[in-house]
Structure 1
Amino acid sequence: MADHRLVMTTTPDRESAARIASSAVALRLAATAQVRGPVSSYFWHLGEAGEGEEWVVTFKTTGVRYAELEAHIISEHPWDKPEVTGIELARGSAAYFAWMETATAPEG
């Protein structure tokens, strides 16, 4: 069984979140992507504490497609150093994981 990943990023607005989510799925880098927000964020940046609203994008993909998905998020993101984090999913239904593998299989 392939490894499966949950990948996240945040964006400054819904439009950029939707664009990155939609393009990643269209390219089959992610089987699905969800956009949530706005969320309140509190952070340390440029030497001081800050706060603002962000939109969270969560992708489901496989380990095989992770590097391409990460590169896509970074290249399409409006920020210079966007968050891209991923965790391996330890458990899940076999049918769902099989669907993720099929949905992210490179065309070819």
Structure 2
Amino acid sequence: MTDHVQVSTATPTKDDAVHLAGSAVKARLAAGAQVLGPVTSVFWHLGEYGTGEEYKVLLTTTREQYPALEAHLLAEHPWDNPEVIATPIVAGAARALEWIERSAGSQN
């Protein structure tokens, strides 16, 4: 187990996704981010079954930075109650993990 996480959320548009990714990386809350999509989502929302087209945002950060990243994503997200989930990174290339540590939270 490492001290790193991959954080995911989804947005209604590519522009929203790129904004979230860019603002988090520029703030050094995440080392990097990818925008995937469009993807088709299937979900329950407000008690109703639905489907929709969304853009997935994946970000890498440290466990220590996660609370600040979560707060940032919730504040900047276009939806009132977006799904924001952190998944532990159980293993990774040493150089990649070191890069995450240097980049997320660093003022360099």
Which TM-score applies when normalising by structure 2?
Answer: 0.94
Deviations 1:4-54 (A, max 9, x none): 000000001101100000000000000000000110111111221111100
Secondary structure of the structure 1 residue equivalent to 2:79: coil
Look up the match of 1:81.
81
Shift of 1:105: 2.8
CA distance in 2, matches of 1:2, 1:29: 17
Count of equivalent residues: 108
Question: How well do the aligned residues superpose, as a CA RMSD in angstroms?
Answer: 1.5
Shift of 1:83: 0.6
Per mean C-alpha deviation after superposition, the further-off stretch among 17-26 and 44-53 is 44-53
Matched, 1:16 2:16: yes
Describe how 1:1-108 pairs up with structure 2 within 5 A. 3-107=3-107
Q: Which runs of 5+ in 1 are unaligned?
A: none
CA distance in 1, matches of 2:47, 2:102: 45
Deviations 1:63-84 (A, max 9, x none): 1110000000000001110010
The answer to whether the Cα contact below 8 Å between 2:30 and 2:61 also exists between their aligned partners in 1 is: yes
Secondary structure of the structure 1 residue equivalent to 2:7: strand
CA distance in 1, matches of 2:63, 2:107: 17
Shift of 1:2: 6.2
Instruction: Report percent identity of matched pairs.
Output: 49
